[in-house]
Structure 1
Amino acid sequence: MSIQVETAIIHAIVSQGEGQLVCRMRPQPLNDSQALTTTLEELHRIYTAKPGKGYGYFGIPEGESDPEVEANTAFKEALREYRQGNLGFVDFSRQAGELLQSELSKYDFATGGFLLLSSYNHTANDYLFVALLSAKPSLTVSDDMELHQNDHLDLSNLQLAARINLTEWDADADSRKYISFVKGRAGRKVADFFLDFMGCAEGINVKAQNKSLMVAVEDCVAESELDKQERQQVRDNLFSYASEQVDKGESLKLPELSEQLAEAGLDDFYAFTNNGDYALEDEFDGDKSTLRQLKKFSGSGAGVSVSFDAIHLGERVIYNPHQDTLMIKGIPPNLKDQLERRLKGSD
Structure 2
Amino acid sequence: MAIRQLRLMRAALPGGGQAAKVTAGQPMAEPGGDYEGLHRQLKKLFNSRPGKAYGRFSDDVGNHPIRGWLGNYLDGQQSFEAFTDQLLDQWQEEVTRADTDPERPLLIVHESLADGEVLYLFALEMDAVFTLDTTLELTPTETISRSRLNLAARVELEDWRGEQGSENYLTVLQGRGTGEIGKCFARLVGFQQEVDVEAETRTFLEAVESFAQQQTEPEHAQSVRHKAFEFCNEQEALGEPVPLSALSSYIDDSQPERFAEHVAESQAVEPDRVLHPDRRKVRKLVRIAGKGNGLSLSFSSDLVNQAVHYDRDRDALIITQVPRSLKEQLQSYLDDASD
With normalisation by structure 1, the TM-score equals: 0.81
| SS of residue matched to 2:252 | helix
Matches within 5 A, 1:67-106: 72-106=63-97
Instruction: Please point out which of 195, 204, 207 is paired with 2:186.
Output: 195
| SS of residue matched to 2:264 | helix
Give a deviation string over 1:247-300, Cα, whole Å, max 9, x none: 344432211110122248796211222334466883345544222211121111
Counterpart CA distance in 1 for 2:20 and 2:215 is: 66
Q: Residues 285 and 190 (structure 1 numbering): CA distance in 2 closer, same or farther, change over 3 Å?
A: farther
Alignment pair present for 1:158 and 2:156: no
Counterpart CA distance in 2 for 1:105 and 1:200 is: 20
Cα drift, residue 145 of structure 1: 4.2
Alignment pair present for 1:274 and 2:273: no
For residue 121 of structure 1, what is the amino acid of its counterpart?
S
1:51 aligns with: 50
Q: Residues 71 and 175 (structure 1 numbering): CA distance in 2 closer, same or farther, change over 3 Å?
A: farther
2:159 aligns with: 168
Q: Residues 275 and 58 (structure 1 numbering): CA distance in 2 closer, same or farther, change over 3 Å?
A: farther
Give a deviation string over 1:293-321, Cα, whole Å, max 9, x none: 11121111110122232133345544456
Cα drift, residue 43 of structure 1: 2.2
Q: Residues 192 and 327 (structure 1 numbering): CA distance in 2 closer, same or farther, change over 3 Å?
A: same
Alignment pair present for 1:117 and 2:116: no
Instruction: Please point out which of 267, 284, 296 is paired with 2:287.
Output: 296
Q: Residues 70 and 87 (structure 1 numbering): CA distance in 2 closer, same or farther, change over 3 Å?
A: closer
Do the aligned partners of 1:23 and 1:101 also contact (CA within 8 Å) in 2? yes
The more displaced of 84-93 and 16-25 is 16-25
For residue 220 of structure 1, what is the amino acid of its counterpart?
F
Alignment pair present for 1:209 and 2:200: yes
Instruction: Please point out which of 227, 237, 242 is paired with 1:247.
Output: 237
For residue 3 of structure 2, what is the amino acid of its counterpart?
V
Alignment pair present for 1:19 and 2:10: no
Do the aligned partners of 2:215 and 2:221 also contact (CA within 8 Å) in 1? no
The more displaced of 48-57 and 129-138 is 129-138
Do the aligned partners of 1:317 and 1:326 also contact (CA within 8 Å) in 2? no
Counterpart CA distance in 1 for 2:179 and 2:119 is: 23
Counterpart CA distance in 1 for 2:258 and 2:185 is: 42
For residue 43 of structure 1, what is the amino acid of its counterpart?
L
Counterpart CA distance in 1 for 2:268 and 2:7 is: 42
1:226 aligns with: 216
Do the aligned partners of 1:207 and 1:290 also contact (CA within 8 Å) in 2? no
Counterpart CA distance in 1 for 2:220 and 2:135 is: 67
Cα drift, residue 164 of structure 1: 0.9
Do the aligned partners of 2:102 and 2:181 also contact (CA within 8 Å) in 1? no
For residue 254 of structure 1, what is the amino acid of its counterpart?
L
Cα drift, residue 74 of structure 1: 0.9
Do the aligned partners of 2:245 and 2:257 also contact (CA within 8 Å) in 1? no
Instruction: Please point out which of 317, 320, 334 is paired with 1:330.
Output: 320
Do the aligned partners of 1:119 and 1:127 also contact (CA within 8 Å) in 2? yes
The more displaced of 144-153 and 86-95 is 144-153
With normalisation by structure 2, the TM-score equals: 0.83
For residue 4 of structure 1, what is the amino acid of its counterpart?
A
Do the aligned partners of 1:138 and 1:151 also contact (CA within 8 Å) in 2? yes
1:313 aligns with: 304
For residue 28 of structure 2, what is the amino acid of its counterpart?
L
| SS of residue matched to 1:86 | coil
Unaligned runs of 5+ in 1: 61-68
For residue 90 of structure 2, what is the amino acid of its counterpart?
L
The more displaced of 292-301 and 137-146 is 137-146
Q: Residues 156 and 172 (structure 1 numbering): CA distance in 2 closer, same or farther, change over 3 Å?
A: farther
| SS of residue matched to 1:13 | strand
| SS of residue matched to 1:204 | coil
Matches within 5 A, 1:114-153: 114-133=105-124, 135-143=126-134, 145-153=136-144
Q: Residues 204 and 145 (structure 1 numbering): CA distance in 2 closer, same or farther, change over 3 Å?
A: same
Counterpart CA distance in 1 for 2:127 and 2:331 is: 51
Unaligned runs of 5+ in 2: none
1:5 aligns with: 3
| SS of residue matched to 2:262 | helix
RMSD, aligned α-carbons? 3.4
Q: Residues 14 and 85 (structure 1 numbering): CA distance in 2 closer, same or farther, change over 3 Å?
A: same
| SS of residue matched to 2:73 | helix
Counterpart CA distance in 1 for 2:71 and 2:234 is: 34
Q: Residues 225 and 116 (structure 1 numbering): CA distance in 2 closer, same or farther, change over 3 Å?
A: closer
**Residues matched between the structures, number:** 335
